[in-house]
């Protein structure tokens, strides 16, 4: 199901980096050390924003990607 708060996600399994672009701010963050199982559960979650808040936000180190406000497509 599409999310109202998360515009796009991308995952690098080798580096275990989850990239998340947010709808409201347009900002792009990278979350380090995210296991493939967590990304798979996030991707299949019905409520992606809720899953993100409960299982990813404040649990993995992250950084704001400079210039990440650009359209990721």
Contact by Cβ (8 Å): 68, 28: yes
If we measure between CA atoms, which residue out of 44, 42, 47 comes closest to residue 31?
A: 42
For residue 27, the model assigns a pLDDT of: 93
Q: What is the Cα–Cα distance from 35 to 18, expressed in whole angstroms?
A: 9
For residue 71, the model assigns a pLDDT of: 55
For residue 19, the model assigns a pLDDT of: 97
- Reported as a single tens digit per residue, the pLDDT across 60-73 is 999 999 986 655 44
37 phi and psi angles, rounded to 5 deg: -65, -35
- Reported as a single tens digit per residue, the pLDDT across 7-64 is 999 999 999 999 999 998 889 999 999 999 999 999 999 999 999 999 999 999 999 9
pTM (predicted TM-score): 0.86
């Amino acid at each position: 199901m599409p999310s109202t708060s998360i515009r796009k996600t991308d995952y690098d399994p080798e580096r275990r980096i989850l990239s998340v672009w947010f709808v409201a701010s347009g900002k792009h963050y990278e979350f380090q050390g995210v296991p493939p199982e967590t990304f798979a559960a996030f991707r299949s979650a019905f409520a992606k924003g809720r899953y993100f808040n409960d299982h990813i936000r404040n649990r993995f180190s992250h950084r704001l990607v400079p210039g990440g406000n650009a359209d990721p497509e």
